[in-house]
A and B are shown apart, each in its own frame.
Chain A
Amino acid sequence: MPKFRKETQVTSVTDTSSSLLGKAANATPAPIASRIRGISDRSMAWLFITPAIVLLLAINIFPLIWAIYLSFTNFRANRPNAPIEGVGLSNYSRVLNDPNIWQAMQTTAHFVFWTILLQTLIGFSLAYLIDRKFRGHAFWTTVILVPMMLSPAVVGNFWRFLYQPQIGLFNYIVSFITGVPPSSFEMLGSVQLSPWAIIIVDTWMWTPYVMLICLAGLRSIPDYIYEAAEVDRASLWRQFWSITLPMALPFIMLAVLFRGIENFKMFDMVTLLTGGGPGSTTEVASITLKREAFESWRTGRASAFAIILFVAVFGLANIYVKALNKVKQR
């Protein structure tokens, strides 16, 4: 692993494709291919690309268009015989005026904020420590990575067991450390603690993800910069703030971007841990959407909500990617 130090690089989402275009223009293999085979590169390219695009059109874009259409109707998937009527923008206005949905968006925002904050702090600290390259750090890095590879549904489900007030290991360990009786607090049942129950599991699962990306960031910093700082007798503290952190920042931001998108979509872990409860304390947007679409079967309204969510993720991600590129150019 240490060998990768100088080769690590970050390329952002939009960046790769533009650099690809540049590269393609420079290398220009086109004349050779067309001279030999007669078939134009353009049709050749489509031959390669079409299958994937067709699949994406069929499974992603066509349904999306369908959903947009449905969002303007009163369609309900469990009333196949009822006539479908256009209702204009009323689904959108009802979704946007529904306090429950705003509540869910707020819950989602809290969840995203705290998980990202914790994961970034812990993940970066771990990466920084692992970059001290103590004996066996490669092995321990792999161990730390394990949780993020597991199924959030299957493993999240098991956390419900760990959080049982009377028999759960989590409560028992907390009680062992703090002396608070294990059955005196309910991680999943109390309004105050249940959001943290979810944040803890998510942090347990995804801190390694942030750590791994931060580690790549730290390893991308060339040694000569530190060497120069050493010559200038810059303190470790100063080195950290003026070299380490700024140079690792694009990586940290990339990690935040990916975690943000993922946690905005969060469904499985919350469903299995609390189902949105107690009351609606942990009801994140995906759970509200699931209830609307697959329990109430108000498909039209649910589609409107889905489109709003999608636009929100897409918009925020785009803004963020721009910011990320700016940081990298600095």
Chain B
Amino acid sequence: MKTMKQALLGATSALVLFTAAPNLAKADELTLCWAAWDPANALVELSKDFTGQSGTTMKFEFVPWPNFADRILNELNSGGKLCDLLIGDSQWLGGSAENGYYVKLNDFFDKEGIKMSDFADAAVNAYATWPKGTPNYWALPAMGDANAWFYRKDWFAKPEIQAEFKQKYGRDLAAPATWDELKQVAEFFNGREIDGKKVYGAAIFTERASEGITMGATGALYPYGFKYENTPGKYDMEGAVNSPDAVAGLEAYKALYKCCTPPGYTDAYMGESLDAFKSGQVAMAMNWFAFFPGLYKDEKVGGDKIGFFVNPKEKVAASTLGGQGISVVANTDNMEGALAYIKWFAQPDVQKKWWSLGGYAVHKAVLTDPSFPESQPFAADFLVAMNQVQDFWQEPSYAILLQAMQKRLHDYVVADKGTAKEALDGLVADWTEVFKDDGKL
């Protein structure tokens, strides 16, 4: 086995050498990898300043969300040299730190005087550290994000609709504050004819392949009282993941899916949610804060036609965490340039411009500015949401854990298999097996 491998290594290494030469990245060029979405375009705009100052050409590799984790983790695992800089999901930190895919930034931060205390604490913990709760930094918090909602303010404001709603539910029609209210509002709008078009209640995440339905359903699970563990760090999931509260939360999510989503939204994630809202099909939609600047600018449904609200609470107030930190890929050929980019990006002025262009800076210079809550109609909501975020497992095995949850949830919510209790019981079993394999149970 071993000798065969060596022989093959020898035989092909000549070929590799011969092709490797043209692959060497130019010293004054950096490739930054991220997801393809609105903030990425804002980052292209922002990075023009960096190019102007340093002369470094920026190249970008943006991958659509449904393929993002798949492709970039594949790239990291295969030891590729595609990305010098990577804005990767918070859940990847564990694996990437343990496998040495990311450069540890502590020394660099110390040398350049970049202080993590300048960034929002929740963001640092979520986007930069591994193991959690220790001052070991593998990324600079780049983009704060959480799942939230937006609605058709103009529809909500119609007097006849307001009157009818009040008559039916005995309260004023407004952005819902609880999941029960959310369901009522969605039901109220669903199937209604507005401006000569049949509309639906809400667009929610149901995507199967990557993370969509998990990110959507946790928006209901967390507020209803779902917990990953009874005691943090003990992996004792029985009675937490499948608690009666969690079951109620999952049932609420399915009820919302069944009653009030537009036809064909069986495999919907960010793009579909935006499409549904922009085409005037839905009264409300969930999506990440990242899209809100673009939505607010939209000529058809933006401006005074759109309103925003934080994920509704039920038993507790909670939002699903999104957002990413920016890391240096250990395999880069341009370490100096990559670090220079991070240094540049961490400056308060750049962070302020980042926010003004549509990126969610989490530098305290931005967030604690007294004018911040008023700077955008969703800025205050963003601060609220970021204070109540919960995140999925960040374990090195997160992908297996996520896949199991995707399957269980999609089977129950979309494919109508079994009950909520059975789905969550099954999830506990799946997860237990994973942690046993990892030697954690």
Contacts and interface: CB of A to CB of B under 8 A. Distances in A.
Interface of A: 58, 62, 65-66, 69, 77-81, 100, 164-166, 183-184, 186, 188-191, 274-281, 291, 294-298
Contacts of A191: 415-416
A277 B12 contact: no
Given A78-B95, A277-B208, A291-B403, A62 B4 contact: yes
B403 A295 contact: yes
Interface stretch (B42-50, B262-270, B333-341, B352-360): B262-270
A65 B396 CA distance: 28
Contacts of A165: 263-264
The A interface, classified by DSSP as helix, strand, loop or mixed, is: loop
A279 B77 contact: no
A71 to B, nearest CB: 13
Nearest to A77: B77
Contacts of A281: 415
Interface string B74-87: 10010000000000
B403 A189 contact: no
Interface string B280-309: 000000000000000000000000000000
Contact of A295 (B4, B70, B99, B262): B70
A277 B11 CA distance: 43
B1 interface: yes
B98 interface: yes
A65 B2 CA distance: 12
Contact of A278 (B99, B100, B410): B410
Q: How large is the interface on B (under 10, 10 to 19, 20 to 34, 35 or more residues)?
A: 20 to 34
A295 B399 contact: yes
Counting from the closest, the 9 A-B pairs by CB-CB distance are A189-B266, A279-B415, A279-B411, A277-B208, A165-B264, A275-B209, A183-B263, A165-B263, A278-B414
Given A165-B263, A280-B415, A275 B208 contact: yes
B3 to A, nearest CB: 12
B26 interface: no
B258 interface: no
B407 A279 contact: yes
B258 to A, nearest CB: 12
A298 B400 contact: yes
Contact of A275 (B8, B95, B267): B267
B399 A186 contact: no
A39 to B, nearest CB: 25
A277 to B, nearest CB: 4
B192 interface: no
Contacts of B396: 78-79
Contacts of A279: 208, 407, 410-412, 414-415, 417
B73 interface: yes
B396 to A, nearest CB: 7
A58 B262 CA distance: 51
A181 to B, nearest CB: 9
Given A77-B77, A78-B77, A191-B415, A166 B263 contact: yes
Given A164-B264, A166-B262, A296-B400, A277 B209 contact: yes
15 contacts: A78-B77, A78-B396, A81-B99, A81-B100, A164-B264, A188-B267, A190-B266, A275-B208, A277-B414, A278-B208, A279-B407, A291-B403, A294-B74, A295-B403, A296-B399
A141 B126 CA distance: 60
A297 B99 CA distance: 13
A152 B411 CA distance: 27
Contacts of A184: 263
Interface in B393-426: 396, 399-400, 403, 407, 410-412, 414-417
A284 to B, nearest CB: 14
Contacts of B263: 165-166, 183-184, 186
A79 B99 contact: yes
Nearest to A100: B407
Contacts of A80: 99
B299 to A, nearest CB: 21
A230 B99 CA distance: 77
Contacts of A277: 208-209, 266-267, 410, 414-415
Given A166-B262, A295-B400, 12 more contacts: A58-B12, A66-B1, A78-B396, A79-B98, A81-B100, A165-B263, A186-B266, A277-B267, A279-B407, A279-B410, A279-B415, A297-B77
B272 to A, nearest CB: 10
A296 B403 contact: yes
A78 B209 CA distance: 20
A294 B209 contact: no
Nearest to A74: B437
B390 to A, nearest CB: 23
A238 B98 CA distance: 73
Contacts of B77: 77-78, 297
B217 to A, nearest CB: 14
Contacts of B4: 62, 65
A278 B414 CA distance: 6
Given A279-B415, A281-B415, A274 B399 contact: no
A295 B396 CA distance: 12
Contacts of A78: 73, 77, 95, 99, 396
Contacts of B414: 189, 277-279
Nearest to A276: B208
Nearest to B266: A189
A62 B99 CA distance: 26
A280 B8 CA distance: 40
B266 A278 contact: yes
Nearest to A69: B1
A65 B3 CA distance: 13
Contacts of B403: 291, 295-296
Contacts of B264: 164-166, 183, 186, 188-189
Contacts of A291: 403
A329 to B, nearest CB: 42
B8 A58 contact: yes
A62 B208 contact: no
A291 B69 CA distance: 12
A321 to B, nearest CB: 31
A276 B209 CA distance: 8
Interface in B89-140: 95, 98-100
Contacts of A77: 77
A279 B413 CA distance: 8
Nearest to B396: A79
A130 to B, nearest CB: 37
Contact of B8 (A62, A295, A296): A62
Contacts of B417: 279
A169 to B, nearest CB: 14
Given A77-B77, A275-B209, A294-B74, A189 B416 contact: no
